[in-house]
Amino acid sequence: MIPGKSKWYFEPITPDLLHGVSIRKTLYTGATRYQAVEVLESGAFGRMLVLDGKTQSAELDEFVYHEGLVHPALLTHPRPESVFIGGGGEGATAREVLRHPGVRQVAMVDLDSEVVDLCRQWLPQHHQGAFEDPRLRLHVADARAYLEQTAEHYDVMVLDLPDPLEGGPAYQLYTEEFYRLVRTRLRPGGVMVTQSGPASVVNCREVFTAIHNTLERVFPVVAPYAVHMMSFGETWGFNVASLAPDPRTLVAREIDLRLAQDGVSGLRFYDGTTHLGLFAIPRFLRDALSAEDRAITLEHPLFVF
């Protein structure tokens, strides 16, 4: 134990690997109807949101995750005006979407209103007032049921959902059936992106490669990428899926010009150079993706550790 640091939070990365951070204060601990919730004040990362024992985001580096999740998809679409967000209870995903002045309406659908309320109270640096933006409409609902019932269609759909834990609220939203539903709600030329679980050398085959393989059954273009998240203790994966445009065809100068012309400001992680690096994934990931033959379905779901 490090001298002067008496309280620690440890999170398993794999059954053989732990990630730890010192805790200065527990701001909230409890349980909603759907999941256990903790808001912690950590020594290294500031305030952290933990759901069902898994870190969702931390104050220090959440911008890496949320900018990395949102902007590659929005820049892939030539003119995104209508955006759907599944999950994203912290409000940081909405914050990044709303940086784009051309976005006229955002439908955010989150199942757990208690988590949203806790984030609004305890994580103001995450949402930064996004919930007050008149372009945002918050719907408390299951994302699948909402998409089945709505007549709306979207230019971009961002899935910032909890990990597919066994018995958790979101595992059905990583299936081929759900991705086919998402496709029906995209406008022509539409783009979707989903967080896709850990993508490090020790656990990239946990769900990341299977999510990618499942999406390839549904969309003609699927582009995997990853960012390093220090607060997660590992690299985290994403997949952009599209009906036409491919984010890997964009060049750095084009992205920087678009961001400037669209009036997108305040970014700390994402720009044209970063975009190119995101999709230059290492060989072990490319090999793992090529070797993957699993598809996630309602009949054969897949769960993270």
Residue 144 CA to residue 160 CA, distance in Å, equals 13
Q: What's 6's DSSP letter? A: -
- Contacts by 51-58 with C-beta closer than 8 Å and gap 24+? 51/115, 51/162, 52/162, 52/165, 52/168, 53/11, 54/11, 54/162, 54/163, 54/165, 55/11, 55/231, 55/232, 56/90, 56/162, 57/90, 57/92, 57/126, 57/231, 58/231
Catalytic residue among 110, 112, 155, 160: 160
- Cα end-to-end distance, the chain, whole Å: 26
Catalytic residue list contains 160: yes
Q: In what order do the strands lie in the sheet with 186-198?
A: 136-140, 105-110, 82-87, 154-160, 186-198, 234-242, 221-229
Residue 295 identity: A
Residue 212 CA to residue 193 CA, distance in Å, equals 11
Looking at the annotation, which residues are catalytic?
160
